[in-house]
Structure 1
Amino acid sequence: MSTANPDPKTQIILQAAWEGFSAYGFRKTSMDDIARGAGMSRPALYLHFKNKEAIFRALVEGYYATARAEITAALQVDGALSQKLARAFAAHGGETMEAMMTSAHGMELFEASMSVAGEAIEAGEASLRDLYTDWLADEAAQGRLRLSGEACDMARLFCACLKGVKHTSQSFETYRRGVQDYAALCAQALQL
């Protein structure tokens, strides 16, 4: 899972945690497993995080920070609207989506996300909606796309539909194709 935390020790801990969660699931991964994976003692790990739930929330927050940066970059690249949206929507899920959907414990990780990191997900989703809202409003003001309603409504639809693609896909390949198809559909609707 991508993280945007610049502290090297925290990065090592989060990477070890992600590897443990992916391999064993959230419930079966212990703080001992994470400490061992990070090459540190359990007491040293507790100096950084109070429990594995806090680690999981940090992973979710890192995912959203990375997604924001990658979506912003994708939307700023010159190119056709369909290409911009395809890159942005692919970045919306990022490498994390592939890792979760190909893990034997992917469904458990999706469930843990909601129960352990619901507030972080809510805040992250709001930040992505805001990013899309600002981009759509700016692009419409510059005459580069056509909005039939409010930018915030279209941004909300982007996020809701991408979540729907994620929750209804049986494999990462199905998810990837669904995201591409949705980007093409949105680009058609927004074209001048």
Structure 2
Amino acid sequence: MIKAVPAATIEGDPHRALVLDAADTVFARLGFRNCSLDDIARAAGVSRACLALHFASKEDVFIAAVDRALTMFRERTGQLLRRQGVPVETRVLDAFCTAHTTTIGSAVMSDIMAACEALVAPLVRDFEKDLATEVAEALAMAGIPARWTDEGLSADDLAGHLIILSLGITHKAADPVDYRARMASAIRLVCRTPKLVR
């Protein structure tokens, strides 16, 4: 069973936060399989004994790092989706770019994704479900489902399609700029928004 680390625990312990900051960097550079607790301790500037006080294994560090990242992504995507005076297409695009571009272009992306699947799949699924709910709310508030009345598609259906499209684009995009361009097209299609004339 995966135990999520309470944010208060991370915020209240500077060593733990320091270790997780270092772990983010080490995992991004080396991937999950090729890094060790020694690599993480060295990057954090703490002893292996200090690291062991907080984490029993590399897997525990990874789970805590992913949980912390998902918490930050959840907060940020929610803020982006609730912005006032911004077209829904832009809000949705910004939220997806925040949620899905962190590993695009990384040489260790497949290793990180495999570690996520093996160690934190329930956390990632919960995050994706929450993101879909927030996107559906934004689409509904903007009246997008009314454009799909004849097809009988709801805001939840449309948000679900966007999640699937985003995950697919994540695997095809060369970099975050390419992802953004491809996802912008997908959002325009789902929202039935004509391309803006510039």
TM value normalised by structure 2 = 0.78
Q: Distance in 1 between matches of 2:188 and 2:76?
A: 19
Query: Is 1:6 aligned to 2:4, yes or no?
Result: no
- 1:107 deviates by 2.1
1:90 matched to which residue of 2? 97
2:127 matched to which residue of 1? 124
Q: Distance in 1 between matches of 2:31 and 2:176?
A: 18
- 1:18 deviates by 1.6
Aligned residue pair count: 178
Q: Distance in 1 between matches of 2:36 and 2:16?
A: 17
What SS is found at the alignment partner of 1:103? coil
Alpha carbons 1:30, 1:52 under 8 Å: kept: yes
Structure 2 CA distance for partners of 1:72 and 1:32, relative to 1, 3 Å? same
What SS is found at the alignment partner of 1:102? coil
1:101 matched to which residue of 2? 104
Percent identical pairs in the alignment equals 26
Q: Distance in 1 between matches of 2:139 and 2:104?
A: 29
Out of 166, 169, 174, the residue aligned to residue 173 of structure 2 is: 169
Query: Which amino acid in structure 1 is aligned with residue 35 of structure 2?
Result: T
Structure 1 gap ranges (5+): none
In terms of Rg, which structure is larger?
2
What SS is found at the alignment partner of 1:110? helix
What SS is found at the alignment partner of 2:75? helix
Query: Is 1:150 aligned to 2:154, yes or no?
Result: yes
Cα RMSD of the aligned pairs, angstroms, is 2.2
Structure 2 CA distance for partners of 1:33 and 1:161, relative to 1, 3 Å? same
Query: Which amino acid in structure 1 is aligned with residue 122 of structure 2?
Result: E
